Amino acid sequence: MNKPAVDLEPPRVGAALQALRTSRGLSLDDLSKRAGVSKSMLSQIERNQANPTVAVVWRLANALGVEMGELLGAERAATPAIETVPAHATPGLTSPDGLCKLRILGPIELAGQFEWYELGVQPGGVLDSQAHEPGSREHLSVLTGSLEVTAQGVTSKLKPGETARYAVDGPHAIRNTGKSAATALLVVLHP
């Protein structure tokens, strides 16, 4: 015989959501943009006036870099001493022409603060970027091949082992003008 559930109320994620959001220094507007959930819905969830769907909990968990269970009140598992991310699980982006590839090496919870990438640029490839927020900087370290970086109207050519540090609060570009593929590490620091 099945016993009736004592607590028939769904989990309230409001307090957990608010604590995670504020611990990351995010406003409702910031989280709304990251998660694709309206600001008014986030406010209602935090005040326990609405219970989110599974899809909304999934979006919020991904935007905050946590497991869904953490938002639903489950005990968080201890962080392992070493967390290994398999190569196939490292997300990436490819330019529409296929000449530039970025492997996203940094964890999602640091996005918008501190990001790092492995950059691969084929000959003729250009990673053309719009301005980031004021005070942002990039650090580009060439591993193989050569790359040319342009920022604030100045262009510099980099060989293997060299690093360029530059402001990116204006349009900027990284291009491979050489005849062989180039790889680099790219770090973006946001203010």
Give tens-digit pLDDT for 103-160: 999 887 777 788 999 999 999 999 999 999 999 999 999 999 999 999 999 999 999 9
What SS3 class is residue 138? strand
Residue 7 lies in a domain: no
Specify the pTM. 0.60
Q: Given the structure tokens 């603060």, which residue do they identify?
A: 113
Q: How sure is the predictor about 161, in pLDDT bands with cuts at 50, 70 and 90? A: very high
152 found inside a domain: yes
Residue 172 CB neighbour total at 10 angstroms: 21
Same domain, 66 and 97: no
Q: How confident is the model at residue 83 (pLDDT cuts 50, 70, 90)?
A: confident
Structural domain including 92 reads: 88-189
Task: Concatenate the DSSP letters of all residues of 4-19 into one string.
Answer: PPS--SPPP-HHHHHH
- Positive/negative CA dihedral, 107, 111, 114, 118: positive
Same domain membership, residue 114 and residue 169 = yes
* pLDDT tens per residue across span 43-53: 888 888 888 88
9 band by pLDDT with thresholds 50, 70 and 90: low
Residue 4 pLDDT:
54
Tokens matching residue 90? 């490292």
What are residue 116's phi and psi, to 5 degrees? Answer: -140, 145
Residue 4: inside a domain: no
Are 100 and 27 within one domain? no
Tally the domains of the chain: 2
What's 162's domain CATH number? 2.60.120.10
**Statement to judge: residues 59 and 94 lie in one domain:** no
Where a domain ends, among 41, 71, 101? 71
Comparison of pLDDT for 21 and 173, the residue scoring more: 173
pLDDT of residue 97: 94
Between 183 and 50, residue with greater pLDDT: 183
Q: Residue 41 pLDDT more than 80?
A: yes
If you search the block for the tokens 């909990």, which residue do you land on? 57
Do residues 97 and 67 both lie within one domain? no
* 96 and 178 both lie in a single domain: yes
Look up residue 95 and give its two tokens: 């330019």
Q: Are residues 115 and 141 in the same domain?
A: yes
